[in-house]
Amino acid sequence: MRIATAAYPMDFLDDWKAYADKLSAWVADAAGQGAELLVFPEYGAMELATLAGAEAAGDLERSLHAVSDRLADADGLHADLAARHGVHILAASAPCFDEALGPRPVNRARLFGPQGGVGVQDKQIMTRFERDEWGVVGGGPLRLFDTALGKIGILICYDSEFPLLGRAMVDADVILVPSCTEALTGFSRVRIGSQARALENQCVTVMSSTVGNCPWSYAVDTNTGAGGLFGPPDRGFPPTGVIAEGTLDAPGWTIGDVDPAAIAKVRDDGVVLNRAHWDEQAGRDAAPAPQRLR
């Protein structure tokens, strides 16, 4: 399958049509290049806050509500584009107020299939900014989506840095990692986490990023990143594990081809078998006994 992952710049939008035209052009571009799975980044939906005006977009609390209030419209647009182009789309994640989960918003990604199916994945572990300043909270459980393209999991940004969350996705063929990182340090952490999850699970991980400056928002004012597709550095994959990678901070799609059969083969007969040997850590991960060397 061909996967397109975005380095996505957020814009100050004049009206809904500007957003619809922008998203439609991005999807048409990737689909026109043969992509079957399109991956947008974490918090890329924050540009929807500008539809409520500059004052709302620049206020932390008001921006959360402004985006959440437009999610139903955005989801309808994504569903239509997925059906029209015959593709799967991971929409840019967004703050979402869900009464079933409490009074504070979660960070929610939505996966749209070409036949009308929709899957929802909430971020599990919040960064310091999300929990201390923004008041975004962890949401619903991890899910594994069984699609025509294979089994797909989603680890939103910071979640990719935690190996036990990655291990919960052990049956995923592809793990999507939508990210929003301010600086090169954050981008590097998520990139390393994405590669580590591909190594451990012997699968493919797909990282998307927000890029560029958004002076209209305190929350996402500065963004550093690039798209990337990673696999295990083993049989059937590049020796570096990098299937495709975009140029840092350059907006656009990074596109790579993934053979699902290669994932199954490396898991069954790789030079190493990290996925199968994971359980051998049990009993070996206790605190090491102290020993003094003279």
Specify the pairing of strand 144-147 against strand 150-154. Answer: antiparallel
Of the candidates 36, 47, 96, 157, the residue annotated as catalytic is 157
Contact by Cβ (8 Å): 175, 201: yes
Residue 214 falls in the annotated catalytic set:
no
Q: How far apart are CA 127 and CA 136, in angstroms?
A: 9
Distance of CA 225 to the CA centre of its chain: 12
Beta strands in the chain (DSSP E): 2-9, 37-39, 88-96, 106-112, 118-122, 144-147, 150-154, 174-178, 204-213, 222-223, 228-230, 242-245, 252-257
- For residue 30, which phi and psi values (nearest 5 degrees)? -65, -45
Which residues fall within 8 angstroms of residue 215, CB to CB, at 6 or more apart? 221
Q: How far apart are CA 174 and CA 172, in angstroms?
A: 5
Residue 157 falls in the annotated catalytic set:
yes
Q: What phi-psi label fits residue 283: left (phi over 0), alpha (psi between -120 and 50 degrees) or beta? A: left
Of the candidates 36, 42, 47, 161, the residue annotated as catalytic is 42
Of the candidates 36, 47, 96, 123, the residue annotated as catalytic is 123
Residue 123 falls in the annotated catalytic set:
yes
Contact by Cβ (8 Å): 265, 291: no
Q: How far apart are CA 7 and CA 33, in angstroms?
A: 16
Q: How far apart are CA 44 and CA 66, in angstroms?
A: 14
Q: How far apart are CA 39 and CA 209, in angstroms?
A: 9
Residues belonging to the active site: 42, 123, 157
